[in-house]
């Protein structure tokens, strides 16, 4: 694996015993050994953070969709658009207004959502979590191995 940094290139691989990852700088003949367990932990932390970032992005996009639908509904209630125009807009621009859901892929998804909700610091219903983060809890029993 080749990792480019702002100063130089590092070449990373397993040592001959396959117990340590070794990084060798192309600019300096220095080898740094890091245990495979440490690297695995770093990769797992990065993967978990990527899952949370995906949920943050989904949440923001879904709140924008909800806001778009609210604005369109207000235009309808204020009679700035007709019911037909409302229906046409929502049916022909679903990506702008409709929130779709998908099942959770892993227990890490569930743990990431838990951390996000705790960080927000308020109670949410299952319906609110479903709507904000586009998740379906249909497979939650299998994830929790119940």
Whether residues 72 and 119 fall in one domain: yes
Write down the pLDDT at residue 5. Answer: 42
Residue 145 Cα distances to 30, 105, 135, angstroms: 47, 13, 18
Regions of the chain where pLDDT drops below 70: 1-36, 39, 139-141, 143-146
Residue 129 Cα distances to 49, 61, 116, 126, 132, angstroms: 19, 14, 11, 5, 5
Write down the pLDDT at residue 57. Answer: 96
**What count of other Cβ atoms lies within 10 Å of the Cβ of residue 28?**
10
Write down the pLDDT at residue 40. Answer: 75
75, 111 Cβ separation under 8 angstroms: no
Whether residues 79 and 19 fall in one domain: no
Whether residues 32 and 76 fall in one domain: no
Whether residues 29 and 45 fall in one domain: no
Whether residues 34 and 46 fall in one domain: no
In the chain, how many domains are there?
Answer: 2
Closest by CA to 65, choosing from 97, 100, 101, 102, is 97
Residue 71 Cα distances to 48, 65, 91, angstroms: 35, 10, 16
Domain holding 121, by residue range, is 41-143
């Amino acid at each position: 694996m080749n990792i480019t940094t702002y100063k130089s290139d590092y070449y990373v691989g397993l040592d001959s015993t396959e117990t340590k990852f070794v990084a060798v700088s192309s600019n300096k003949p220095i080898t740094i050994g890091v245990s495979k367990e440490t690297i695995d932990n770093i990769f797992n932390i990065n993967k978990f953070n990527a899952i949370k970032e995906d949920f943050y992005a989904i949440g923001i996009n879904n709140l924008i969709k909800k806001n778009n639908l609210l604005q369109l509904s207000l235009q309808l209630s204020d009679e700035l658009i007709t019911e037909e125009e409302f229906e046409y807009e929502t049916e022909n621009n679903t990506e702008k207004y409709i929130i779709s859901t998908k099942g959770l892929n892993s227990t890490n998804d569930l743990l990431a959502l838990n951390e996000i909700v705790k960080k927000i610091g308020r109670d949410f219903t299952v319906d609110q979590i479903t709507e904000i983060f586009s998740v379906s809890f249909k497979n939650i029993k299998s994830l929790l191995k119940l």
